Amino acid sequence: MKQRADIHIIGVVQGVGFRPFVYGLAKELNLVGYVLNLGNAGVQLVVEGRRGDIEGLIAEVKSRAPAVSRIDGINVEWSDATGEFNEFRIERSVDVRKETSGLDMPPDIAMCEDCVADLLRSGSRWHLYPFTSCSICGPRFSTITSLPYDRPNTTMTDFPLCNTCNTEYNNPTDRRYYAQTIACPECGPIYRLLDPLGRLVEDSEPIATAAKLVENGKIGAFQGISGTHLVTMTSKPTAIQELRERKRRLRRPFAIMVRDLETLRNQFLVSSQEIDLLTSWRRPIVLVKKRKGSKESDKDSSRITREIPAESLELISPGLDTVGVMLPYSGLHHLLFHYMDEPGLVMTSANPTGLPMYVNPEVIISELKGIADLFLVHNRRIEQRADDSVIKLLLNGPIFIRRARGYVPEPIIVNGLSREAKLIAVGPEERATGAVLSRGKVYQTQHIGDTNRAENIDFLWDALSHLMNILAVTRLDAVACDLHPEFLSSEFARNLAAERKVPVLPVQHHHAHLAALLADSGLPADTTIACITIDGFGYALGGESWGGDVLVGNAVEATRAGGLKRQAYSGGDLSATYSARALLGILGDSFDVSEISHLIGKAQIAPGVVATGSNLSMLSEMRQRRVNVLYSTSAGRFLDAVSAALGLCFENSYDGECPMQLEAVARETGLRINKEHSLEKSVVLDSTEAIREILRLRRQGVPTEEVAYAAQWYLGESLATIACMVSMERGIGSVGVSGGVAVNRIVTQAISTTVEKEGLKLLVHRNVPPGDGGISVGQIVVSASNLNQ
């Protein structure tokens, strides 16, 4: 007897390609009925046939769904067959946003292997056409204007399908069936090549010409899926140096794109986990270790015509032991390598650090004249710009440095929040994201940047408005922001709250870190944990500055239970730039001017000011008189001070440069810095004693690499010891770590080892950035939890 199954597949967040997949299964199993996209409610299947065949379909859906699909649950209702169907079909989408939960808005997806084959195969209809895509790949988030995800609700509505594409679009057996971004040379977007002044270059093969120019050492501005990269060759160091000088980016690392896995393995030390990330459909940038010399087995490979020289790698990431690497993810990328022999290309965001990516061709040209030698731009609108995501492997798992393309707008499901509450959060001031709460899920925006400038506030609001529109959020219960009253984002939040006549809810920076970790770990918002919050700066009640602390609490409230000793740093924010100031601040009144002068030489302590004996004495006097002094428990400043004490780095020309160089130079050792004598009253870590010990080790001639490792281990182990002590006293079972310093492999390994030794559970970030990019999630969780009180 035939049966009917009404199947609701929940949360098919990357549902593109899912309905054609189900269609194929149903046809194979001789089932009839239909599959229907419910907008942001998932997918509905109604099938009739033999029960065993229907159960087989369900099993196949669970085990073989396209990699870009995410299934949160499957609900099935059985009944007798009605006989109303004589075939299986795909129904047009419906929009049920206002009545349901979930979000069917997929991230941008890397070009699949079948489309790459179409792109490169002579005779193919899509031969050398960069905008090739199908039902399981191509741009998504960057093109969507509204839900449901159908072509009229994307920027591809500007390109009506030709007859041939339309036939494929409507053929259920075709790989491009109902693929919203498909196009061909007859009906789709095109690239144009422009000269240094932005004038059109008449060229029938603009990408091929651009590739050859870059291979000859030129710098190109190439518009991509969701932004614009500055691109140059890696085989000649002079090209990279020229890019640094033109972009005025003297030391901040560049990302690179390598040709293929063979090149990747030849040039870098990569683990299987890193390869899985790099080859996934998300295609993030992954920080991988530099290899000292090429693999001998690959040196004679006929496919590798050039290598990235060691000098180039040093220019790509000066003073670091890692490089941010990605693999091609768009048609343009595959074609660039098709036309050239380069092993890799520098691909750095064309926009200045902290500002929104350039997505409009006119803006690209006007802003990059004098930097780019050529422009390659297209005529497909970018609805939402997004940087490349950046990931680092820590403690046997991925951790986000930046969460954007390929991951946004996937939600974070938070246990214990009201499904009715509607909130937005505007994040902190630096490396910000925004977030929207809808039906108990937190939807983060893409990486926004630094919101201390008006254009980034505009970008933040545009990204938040887009999410609110997609989620059908028409009312707000509150607006969350950082506790710091002078942040431009806090002012924006206050104005928005007043306009909407809702409360503004300031959230302390490190409490937000703790709450973001709760959400990331899947724990209920009312779970109490001890959280090690380690970063550079966070405004606290009373105007204090935290940054190396152990907090105890949950999403409703948290208190500081211990951490680094509060130190006085002269020069205010200058101490975050010049590491010698951090060193002097931690040493306090006990440092010997002549010894420090000898150690740090002519290091800068302010723009154009070097550390002479008289200048150091002046800083000491200012500190004693409390003139322009910042008090802070910052772990970032401690690592800066260690870097200065070891003579490694004296200026953070970009955020975290000195700590990153300290991590890079460190070599694993059994050397340990005694933490017992620097733990005051058990819960306060006296960093002055630690710095004195580090200076003593340096005087004794202990290798810098070993002292660097021991100092970072000391920081992690000591803070973890405090957290474990507090946890056991209060009956807390979990210790977490969050904040920007939580991406340091040595600090986090020390924390992990110490926590596990004490038999407690360690919580680390996996889905939300531990740095300031995750603050908006924490702001949402704290605010929503307090609204419930």
Choose the catalytic residue: 4, 19, 176, 637: 19
Residue (of 426, 417, 521) closest to 785 by Cα position: 417
- SS3 label, residue 714: helix
Q: What is the DSSP string of 34-92?
A: EEEE-GGG-EEEEEEE-HHHHHHHHHHHHHHS-TT----EEEEEEEE-----SSEEEPP
CA distance 755 to 152: 53
| CA distances from residue 645 to 535, 655, 661, 666, 714 in whole angstroms, order as listed | 20, 19, 13, 14, 15
Amino acid in the structure at residue 634: S
- Residue whose C-alpha is closest to residue 124's, from 164, 65, 77, 162: 164
Work out the number of other CB atoms within 10 angstroms of the CB of residue 568: 18
Residues 6+ apart with CB under 8 A from 19: 35, 37, 43, 90, 178
How far apart CA 309 and CA 682 sit, in angstroms, is 50
- Length of the chain in residues, anyone? 789
- CA–CA dist 90, 25 (Å, integer): 12
Q: What residue has token string 């630096």?
A: 430
**From CA 659, how far away is CA 638, in angstroms rounded?**
9
**Over the range 79-88, which residues count as b (16 or more CB within 10 Å of their CB) and which as e?**
eebeeebeeb
Q: How many Å is the Cα radius of gyration of the chain?
A: 28
Element (DSSP H or E) covering residue 529 = strand 529-539
DSSP state at residue 199: P
176, two tokens: 């491009």
E runs forming strands in 664-751: 679-680, 684-685, 734-738
581 is catalytic: no
DSSP label of 383: S
Q: What is the dihedral of CA 259, 264, 266, 269, to 10 degrees?
A: 170
Question: Angle formed by the axes of helices 18-28 and 51-64, to 10°?
Answer: 150
Q: Which residues contact 166 (CB under 8 A, 6 or more apart)?
A: none
Cis peptide, bond prior to residue 409, ω within 30 of zero: yes
Residue 351 phi/psi, 5° resolution? -75, 155
CA distance 636 to 644: 12
Residue with tokens 């946890």: 727
Element (H, E) at 723: helix 704-730
Task: Compute the distance between CA of residue 412 and CA of residue 233 in angstroms, rounded to an integer.
Answer: 38
The one catalytic residue among 4, 37, 259, 767:
37
Kindly write down the DSSP assignment for every residue of 144-172, as one continuous string: B-SSS--GGGBGGGGSPPPHHHHHHHT-T
Contact 645, 714 (CB under 8 A): no
DSSP 8-state secondary structure symbol assigned to residue 501: T
**Per the structure block, which two tokens stand in for 191?**
């690239």
Which residues, in sequence order, are CB contacts of 470 under 8 Å at separation 6+?
A: 40, 97, 103, 105, 144, 146, 147, 409
Per the annotation, the verdict on 19 as an active-site residue is: yes
Token pair for residue 310? Answer: 């060691």
Distance separating alpha carbons of residues 580 and 637, to the nearest angstrom: 10
Q: Which of 560, 604, 601, 598 is nearest to 582 (CA)?
A: 604
Active site residues: 19, 37
